[in-house]
Amino acid sequence: MDSTMLKSIRSNNHRELSRAISHIENDQDIPPDYFIQFHPYIHHSIRIGITGPPGVGKSSLVDCLIPEILSQDKSVGVVAVDPTSPFSGGALLGDRIRMNRFFDNNDVYIRSMGSHQYLGGLAKKAQDVGDVIAASGKDIIIFETVGIGQAEHDVVTAVDLTVVVLMPGTGDEIQLMKAGLMEIADIFVINKTDKKGANRLAQTLRALLHSFSKPDSLEPPVINTIASTGEGVFDWYKLIEDHLKEMDKRGILESKRLERHRERIRGLIKDRLLSKFWSSHRLEQLEKATQSVESIQSSPYEIAEELLTAFENG
């Protein structure tokens, strides 16, 4: 990456934007100076995470949300985080087909991003990608994830506001408790509310939220939508705007961003130390030592201590 690419991204060149994101995804060596130059231009964007179980209509909702954002004279970037194909290494779902109608719109940038089994590292990737898109001038950046696993919790750390999408008839009340969605959601959307059980799910969810909420906390609102018809999407976008204003008023938004900033510093230091520690020689030593183990008689702690001593001695 060079200064020419940086200027191109700042001028909203989507081709260069895609190239930069590919560099980030592929772990290409990007000097810190590159992100340092981006930093003054990344703070104006609002970052929204949209997650929930597979099949609840997240992509359809995002597709409906984009025109609402555009109608307010705002630009939008969408990062669709998908599971990675074990064969090609690319995102399994690819760019959402429905959203291709915005292909020629320079105020809309859509990108699929494979999870690549990053585990905790996905948070860093998502935030770096968010920074690059923000630097292109996009007002709102949406991260849409495919499920409610670890990757989704990682992406949540990269956003200002998290929307959890559910639908009736899938036992979501139980999933709420199991997946820890109560802790990460700022807004709940019950999609496909033309299906049986929608009102019951909404009532159950509101009762749960009320019982879990603390006196000084901002209780997540619940809204109903039908993405297939667009019903409720205008009200949902208005709710997002109002909730962000309330978060800002209470200092929640600033607090979240500051903690995210602190955590990124910690993560960068850990990554740098790990990359320095794991030289090719040490990786080779580790592989040889572990492959030579032919029984479970020795404690793994004992073997690890021996290896660490060997590392320290050269």
Mean pLDDT of the chain: 84
Query: Which is more confidently placed, 152 or 86?
Result: 152
Q: Could you tell me the CA-to-CA distances from 170 to 174, 206, 210, 265 in Å, in that order?
A: 9, 17, 22, 39
At residue 95, the pLDDT reads 40
At residue 179, the pLDDT reads 54
Q: Is the pLDDT of residue 75 over 90?
A: yes
Q: Is the pLDDT of residue 87 over 70?
A: no
Q: Is the pLDDT of residue 5 over 50?
A: yes
**Count of other CB atoms within 10 angstroms of residue 311:** 15
**CA-based Rg of the chain, rounded to a whole angstrom?**
22
> How far, in Å, CA of 47 to CA of 134, rounded?
9
SS3 113: strand
Q: Could you tell me the CA-to-CA distances from 49 to 78, 97, 178, 270, 297 in Å, in that order?
A: 10, 20, 20, 25, 47
- When pLDDT is averaged across residues 40-59 and rounded to a whole number, the result is 90
Query: 13-16: long-range contacts (C-beta < 8 A, 24 or more apart)?
Result: 13/136, 14/106, 14/109, 14/136
Query: Which is more confidently placed, 150 or 37?
Result: 37
Beta bridge partners of 223: 189
At how many degrees (to 10) do helices 233-249 and 252-277 cross?
90
- Tens-place pLDDT, residues 105-132: 999 999 988 765 544 446 678 889 999 9
Which of 44-48, 86-90, 128-132, 199-203 has the lowest average pLDDT? 86-90
Cβ(49)–Cβ(80) below 8 Å: no
Cβ(70)–Cβ(107) below 8 Å: yes
Cα–Cα–Cα angle for 129, 131, 135, nearest 5°?
120
At residue 16, the pLDDT reads 93
> How far, in Å, CA of 235 to CA of 190, rounded?
13
Q: Is the pLDDT of residue 205 over 90?
A: no
Q: Is the pLDDT of residue 238 over 80?
A: yes
| Cα end-to-end span (Å), the chain | 35
Cβ(264)–Cβ(258) below 8 Å: no
At residue 93, the pLDDT reads 46
SS3 28: coil
Confidence of residue 301 (pLDDT cuts 50, 70, 90): very high
Query: Which is more confidently placed, 195 or 29?
Result: 195
At residue 178, the pLDDT reads 52
- Tens-place pLDDT, residues 168-197: 876 655 555 555 667 788 999 999 999 888
> How far, in Å, CA of 279 to CA of 260, rounded?
29
At residue 232, the pLDDT reads 96
Instruction: Compute, in degrees rounded to 10, the torsion defined by CA atoms 192, 195, 200, 204.
Output: -30
> How far, in Å, CA of 260 to CA of 158, rounded?
7
Cβ(191)–Cβ(57) below 8 Å: yes
